[in-house]
């Protein structure tokens, strides 16, 4: 207390010297955070609020945005295309998530015990995860062509199964687009499941064996319950992925994006077209708010499920 | 005694599972082959002439690199490749720098508002990119960022995912090391860069892998922000090239292969790191 009185109070250097070590660290912390704070405020938070605001306007790039209340939402909820798209988006989620998780779990469960060529087989499953969806969409599109070009139909014709229209059919197109998405994400899920399986202490298994539990009982009573956090993470992660599907659909249906007759169109593609083909920015913003709400619900469900566990 | 017990038990187990194991191995192997079938056909077709595309042999009867020469001579692919590489590298470096710095600050500094900032950054995970693209587009057109590298890069320069991941790892760094450096008179920036960063290298490589891969394959925002072909990234370029080459499948497959080969090579070189990185990121994130 007494010592400070003698110090001259001039210049930032002196000021800095007078700070305690703890205070200096606080200053350092804010120096480190200043650019990130500007970034998160300007590139994440402000645009989020702006998206909500734009959803209440009729902005179309040409004229200045005018507040029109909930008209965009009324228009959207009255639009049969929106409900078709909404339905498609949920089909991607409801079909894609369980199928990919079950396959990924089976692969991980058995691959975990395989020693012979383990790394090689793991690589086979993981490689598609590293591909570019925009490029692979075209490869799959080629697979789905009719004979003599398409690989799948050629195989079918050899086996004697009738030709399938795949991307040209309103019934098959959605699942045909979904398969490449499942294919590309599978490797990631296998790796995460395997990490989860390894995190289960081997003492649990030893104890179970001593108690005379069979494979199936061990799987049901130990593996699956202890794998719950991993499974919840993957359910949420892949659900969000399927809800946001775009690259595959866009590239596999370029001549009629989301077609035939909107049968493959997901919400993100509708947003893209509304915003960047028809330039109805306000209307598109309202659609992004819907997407945001759906994703928020999925994330909150995850928090709820995990909290219950603890 | 315990050793013999264990070995008999092991032997018993092995006998139980053995036939099942062969079946499991075979099924896994077949499944794995199915997984890479699209890649094999892509490469195989990229080595065929347009006349051979219809014969679906996996190994082309007369493999040729003509398609690659044709596609690369065009020059656009080289440009797109360079664009993608530059963008992915810059964004990855930025992620490694800033996400680590913020993660470190949130993990190791005591100050009022720390928890608030942490929650604020974490909450941005809930905001989908798709919701931000319209405001970003507006911002880019007002500031003249459309059709520029900066315009493609700016949204991804920092990520909440990376910050969270790095924070988790920095929390495991013992304070004693940092205190010792402080006693030695190092400033806080040097302590972070020289002492703390080298202790979380696995996390940094996980973050770098995710960031690079994510930016290399990114499609949605680059598609929106670029209209001039010279600035396309590889995925956007492949998409537009394929759409315009109509039904010349051998050229489309060549373009797709050019987009796929780099990541496959990187994977083959770094397989262990990548798999471990994905595990780390998945478990901690």
The ranges assigned to domains in chain B are 2-52, 66-284
What pTM did the predictor assign?
0.88
Is the CATH number of domain B66-284 1.10.3720.10? yes
Same domain for A296 and A187: yes
Q: Which of A187, A241, A130 is nearest to B259 (CA)?
A: A130
The answer to whether residue A209 is domain-embedded is: yes
pLDDT reported for residue A137: 92
Same domain for A121 and A11: no
pLDDT reported for residue A92: 94
What are the distances in angstroms from CA A241 to CA A234, B62, B65? 10, 41, 36
Same domain for A124 and A221: yes
Under the banding of pLDDT at 50, 70 and 90, the label for residue A10 is low
Residue B160 has pLDDT above 90, yes or no: yes
Same domain for A273 and A130: yes
Same domain for A139 and A231: yes
Same domain for A97 and A16: no
Residue B10 has pLDDT above 60, yes or no: no
Measured between CB atoms, which of A40, A48, A133 is closest to B217?
A133
Q: Is B114 on the interface with A (CB under 8 A)?
A: yes
The residue that leads in pLDDT, B96 or A156, is: B96
Under the banding of pLDDT at 50, 70 and 90, the label for residue B146 is very high
Residue A33 has pLDDT above 60, yes or no: yes
Q: What is the mean pLDDT of chain B?
A: 87
Residues 6+ apart with CB under 8 A from B18: none
Same domain for A127 and A31: no
Residue A61 has pLDDT above 60, yes or no: yes
Share of chain B above pLDDT 90, in %: 50
pLDDT reported for residue A306: 72
Under the banding of pLDDT at 50, 70 and 90, the label for residue B284 is low
Measured between CB atoms, which of A138, A186, A188 is closest to B242?
A138
pLDDT reported for residue A5: 44
Cα separation of A268 and A288, whole Å?
8
Same domain for A49 and A84: no
Residues of A in contact with B43 (CB under 8 A): none
The residue that leads in pLDDT, A275 or A63, is: A275
Mean pLDDT across A63-80:
90
Cα separation of B33 and A305, whole Å?
36
3-class secondary structure per residue, chain A: CCHHHHCCCCHHHHHHHHCCHHHHHHHHHHHHHHHHHHHHHHHHHHHHHHHHHHCCECCCCCCCCCECCCHHHHHHHCCHHHHHHHHHHHHHHHHHHHHHHHHHHHHHHHHCCCCCCHHHHHHHHHHHHHCCHHHHHHHHHHHCCCCCCCHHHHHHHHHCCCCCCHHHCCCCHHHHHHHHHHHHHHHHHHHHHHHHHHCCCHHHHHHHHHCCCCHHHHHHHHHHHHCHHHHHHHHHHHHHHHHCCCHHHHHHCCCCCCCCCCCCCCHHHHHHHHHHCCCCHHHHHHHHHHHHHHHHHHHHHHHHHHHHHC
pLDDT reported for residue B43: 92
pLDDT reported for residue A310: 45
The answer to whether residue A141 is domain-embedded is: yes
Q: Is B68 on the interface with A (CB under 8 A)?
A: no
Under the banding of pLDDT at 50, 70 and 90, the label for residue A87 is very high
Residues of A in contact with B41 (CB under 8 A): 139, 142-143, 151
Share of chain A above pLDDT 90, in %: 51
pLDDT reported for residue B145: 94
Residue B5 has pLDDT above 50, yes or no: no
The residue that leads in pLDDT, A183 or A171, is: A183
Cα separation of A258 and A84, whole Å?
11
Same domain for A32 and A88: no
Sign of CA dihedral A195, A196, A198, A201: positive
Cα separation of A12 and A9, whole Å?
9
ipTM field: 0.87
CB-based contact B161:B125 (threshold 8 Å) = yes
Residues of B in contact with A303 (CB under 8 A): none
State how many domains chain A has. 2
The answer to whether residue A297 is domain-embedded is: yes
The answer to whether residue A65 is domain-embedded is: no
Same domain for A177 and A232: yes
Residue A109: count other Cβ atoms within 10 Å of its Cβ: 18
CB-based contact A253:A177 (threshold 8 Å) = yes
The answer to whether residue A62 is domain-embedded is: no
Residue B19 has pLDDT above 80, yes or no: no
The answer to whether residue A61 is domain-embedded is: no
Cis peptide before A260 (omega within 30 of 0): yes
Same domain for A163 and A23: no
Q: pLDDT tens digit string along A224-248? A: 888 988 898 899 889 999 999 999 9
Which of A31, A49, A139, A214 has the most B C-beta neighbours within 10 Å, making it the best mutation to test the interface with B? A139
Cα separation of A139 and B44, whole Å?
12
Across the interface, whether the CB atoms of B275 and A183 are under 8 A apart is answered no
- Window 3-62 of B, Cβ < 8 Å to A: 9, 13, 17, 21, 24-25, 27-29, 31-33, 35-36, 38-39, 41-42, 45, 53-54, 56
- CATH code for the domain of A97: 1.10.3720.10
Cα separation of B91 and B213, whole Å?
11
Residue A302 has pLDDT above 90, yes or no: no
Mean pLDDT across B183-206:
90
Mean pLDDT across B235-261:
88
Same domain for A133 and A35: no
Measured between CB atoms, which of B105, B109, B264 is closest to A130?
B264
Q: Is B253 on the interface with A (CB under 8 A)?
A: yes
Across the interface, whether the CB atoms of B252 and A285 are under 8 A apart is answered no
pLDDT reported for residue A11: 63
* Domain interval for residue A17: 3-54
pLDDT reported for residue A4: 46
Specify the range with the lowest mean pLDDT, choosing from A41-45, A109-113, A294-298, A305-309: A305-309
pLDDT reported for residue B135: 95
């Amino acid at each position: 207390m007494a010592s400070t009185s003698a110090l001259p109070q001039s210049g930032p250097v002196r000021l800095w010297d007078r700070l305690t070590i703890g205070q200096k660290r606080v200053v350092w912390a804010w120096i480190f955070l200043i650019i990130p704070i500007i970034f998160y405020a300007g590139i994440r938070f402000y645009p989020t609020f702006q998206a909500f605001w734009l959803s209440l306007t009729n902005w179309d790039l040409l004229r200045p945005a005018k507040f029109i209340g909930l008209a965009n939402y009324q228009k959207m909820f009255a639009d049969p295309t929106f409900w078709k798209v909404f339905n498609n988006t949920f089909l991607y989620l409801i079909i894609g998530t369980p199928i990919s998780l079950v396959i990924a779990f089976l692969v991980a469960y058995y691959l975990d015990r395989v020693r012979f060529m383990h790394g090689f087989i793991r690589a086979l499953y993981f490689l598609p995860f590293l591909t570019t969806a925009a490029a692979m969409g075209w490869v799959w599109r080629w697979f789905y062509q009719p004979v003599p070009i398409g690989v799948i139909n050629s195989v079918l014709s050899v086996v004697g199964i009738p030709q399938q229209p795949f991307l040209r059919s309103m019934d098959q197109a959605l699942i045909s687009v979904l398969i490449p998405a499942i294919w590309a994400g599978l490797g990631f899920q296998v790796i995460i499941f395997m990490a989860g399986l390894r995190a289960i202490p081997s003492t649990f298994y030893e104890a179970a064996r001593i108690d005379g539990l069979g494979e199936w009982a061990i799987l049901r009573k130990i593996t699956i319950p202890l794998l719950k956090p991993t499974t919840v993470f993957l359910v949420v992660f892949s659900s969000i992925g399927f809800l946001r599907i775009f690259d595959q659909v866009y590239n596999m249906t370029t001549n009629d994006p989301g077609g035939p007759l909107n049968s493959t169109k997901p919400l993100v593609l509708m947003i893209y077209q509304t915003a960047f083909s028809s330039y109805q920015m306000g209307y598109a913003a309202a659609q992004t708010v819907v997407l945001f709400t759906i994703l928020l619900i999925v994330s909150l469900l995850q928090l709820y499920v995990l909290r219950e566990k603890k | 005694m315990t050793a013999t017990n264990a070995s008999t038990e092991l032997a018993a187990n092995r006998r139980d599972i053995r036939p099942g194991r062969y079946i499991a191995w075979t099924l896994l192997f077949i499944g794995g082959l199915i997984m890479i079938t699209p890649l094999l056909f892509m490469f195989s077709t990229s080595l065929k002439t347009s006349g051979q595309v219809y014969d679906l042999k996996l190994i082309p009867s007369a493999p040729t690199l003509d398609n690659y020469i044709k596609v690369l001579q065009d020059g656009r692919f080289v440009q797109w490749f360079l664009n993608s590489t530059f963008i992915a590298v810059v964004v990855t470096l930025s992620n490694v720098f800033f996400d680590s710095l913020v993660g470190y600050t949130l993990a190791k500094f005591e100050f009022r508002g720390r928890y608030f900032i942490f929650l604020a950054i974490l909450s941005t995970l809930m905001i989908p990119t798709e919701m931000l693209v319209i405001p970003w587009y507006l911002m880019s057109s007002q500031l003249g960022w459309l059709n520029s590298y900066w315009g493609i890069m700016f949204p991804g320069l920092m990520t909440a995912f990376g910050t969270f991941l790095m924070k988790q790892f920095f929390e495991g760094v013992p304070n004693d090391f940092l205190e010792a450096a402080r006693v030695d008179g190092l400033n806080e920036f040097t302590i972070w860069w020289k002492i703390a960063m080298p202790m979380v290298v696995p996390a940094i490589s996980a973050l770098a892998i995710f960031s690079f891969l994510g930016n290399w394959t990114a499609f949605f925002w680059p598609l929106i922000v670029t209209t001039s072909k010279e600035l396309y990234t590889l995925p956007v370029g492949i998409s537009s090239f394929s759409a315009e080459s109509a039904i010349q499948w051998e050229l489309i497959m060549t373009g797709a292969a050019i987009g796929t080969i780099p990541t496959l090579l990187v994977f083959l070189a770094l397989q262990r790191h990548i798999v471990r990185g994905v595990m780390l990121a998945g478990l901690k994130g």
